[in-house]
Structure 1
Amino acid sequence: MRSTVLITILLLMFLALPAAAFSADRFTLTIEENGDADIEFDYTLTWIERVAVYLRIAEPENELRQALERNYNRPVEIKAVTPGSVQFTVDGLSKVKETFDGTVYTVPVLDFSSAVTALERYWFAPLVKVDLSPDISTVTFPDGRTEEFRNVTIIPMLVHTI
């Protein structure tokens, strides 16, 4: 009886808490000369998400990896994971073409919305507001040229000639 009352009180307190947010902070994409891409994605997890990640109920790095593989039909390797970031390598993300003008790098549209859909499948989804529009997104080409975007969910296709 006492455990039922305690559980009920905890549930009511839990339901009374404001919705938490999974927040994308920074997305960095670095294109290598061969078209491979190194990606670093920094994010902030709330205490609810930290518990879910700690218990391995949710693995944001795998959700992001799977979203990249589905969208770009390319192998994605997870390089490193911390409580607030994940690093990937994506083979051949950028198309590389040699022309008379130089080497043309074409980076496809990058759309984070499919990762939002994947994260919404978890038990904590009703309690969490997912924001996958990074405060700042940076794409860097092999010659050091950088394209920067702020608070966007979709990065447009980019073409750069070196």
Structure 2
Amino acid sequence: MKRVYLILACLCLLAFAVMPAQAFTAKSLTVTLAPNGDAQINMQYDLNFLEKSAVFFRMADPATEVKKAFASNTGREVTVNSVTDSSADIVVPSYAGVTRNNGATTLTTPAISFLRAQEVLKRYWFAPLVSANFAPQVTTITFPDGYQETFINSLSMPAVSHTMSV
């Protein structure tokens, strides 16, 4: 009987070792624009146990990765306001382009892509062991007048323009 339990334990251990672990999972991305084009950005995500441990022991820093992603997409300086093991709040000045014409203001956001993050992950030795999902389940861009654009499970979002009348 002990031999059966030992064999079952070994099979379970082997299954866990071979099965990819769900790693970083983007839950939501919320971009709230100010009239001058500045953006307050909140990203909600899930980390697995190992990633949470790495954050706790300061071996990994989700804020740095989120900051890099938005800095590379926008070419702007990004400020991290807060970060936890499940969310990051950042500010990006002049995130959206602002044009004014005949009393109307148009804000245009840059395209957002997490493809680079996915490609970077593939370079690591542990990549076959994890299954990261960088596509936010819901991405919402909110303009100052309350207009919203929403994307579902999109790894890349196009530039979005919206004209507000005064």
TM class by shorter-chain length?
0.7 to 0.9
Q: Are the structure 2 counterparts of residues 151 and 34 from structure 1 closer, same or farther at C-alpha, using a change threshold of 3 Å?
A: same
- Distance in structure 2 (CA, Å) of the matches to 1:86 and 1:118: 20
Q: Are the structure 2 counterparts of residues 161 and 29 from structure 1 closer, same or farther at C-alpha, using a change threshold of 3 Å?
A: same
Question: How far apart are 1:145 and its partner, in Å?
Answer: 0.4
- Distance in structure 1 (CA, Å) of the matches to 2:67 and 2:106: 26
Note the 1:1-162 alignment, pairs <5 A.
16=17, 18-21=19-22, 22-100=24-102, 102-120=104-122, 124-162=126-164
TM-score, structure 2 normalization: 0.82
1:5 corresponds in structure 2 to: none
- SS of the aligned residue for 1:67 comes to helix
TM-score, structure 1 normalization: 0.84
- SS of the aligned residue for 1:75 comes to coil
Question: How far apart are 1:70 and its partner, in Å?
Answer: 1.8
- SS of the aligned residue for 2:144 comes to coil
Q: Name the % identity.
A: 38
- SS of the aligned residue for 1:26 comes to strand
Structure 2: where are the runs of 5+ without partners?
1-9
1:3 corresponds in structure 2 to: none
Contact 2:73 2:111 in 1 (8 A): no
Q: Which residue identity does 1:117 align to in structure 2?
A: E
Bigger Cα Rg? 2
- SS of the aligned residue for 2:131 comes to strand
Q: Which is further off, 71-80 or 51-60?
A: 51-60
1:6 corresponds in structure 2 to: none
- Distance in structure 1 (CA, Å) of the matches to 2:125 and 2:51: 10
Q: Are the structure 2 counterparts of residues 85 and 147 from structure 1 closer, same or farther at C-alpha, using a change threshold of 3 Å?
A: same
- Distance in structure 1 (CA, Å) of the matches to 2:49 and 2:125: 14
- SS of the aligned residue for 1:62 comes to helix
- Distance in structure 2 (CA, Å) of the matches to 1:124 and 1:52: 15
Structure 1: where are the runs of 5+ without partners?
1-8
Q: List structure 1 runs of 4+ shifted beyond 4 angstroms.
A: 12-15, 119-124
Question: How far apart are 1:156 and its partner, in Å?
Answer: 0.9
- Distance in structure 2 (CA, Å) of the matches to 1:14 and 1:91: 47
Report how many residues are paired: 152
- Distance in structure 2 (CA, Å) of the matches to 1:120 and 1:64: 17
RMSD: 2.0
- Distance in structure 2 (CA, Å) of the matches to 1:123 and 1:14: 19
- Distance in structure 2 (CA, Å) of the matches to 1:101 and 1:156: 26
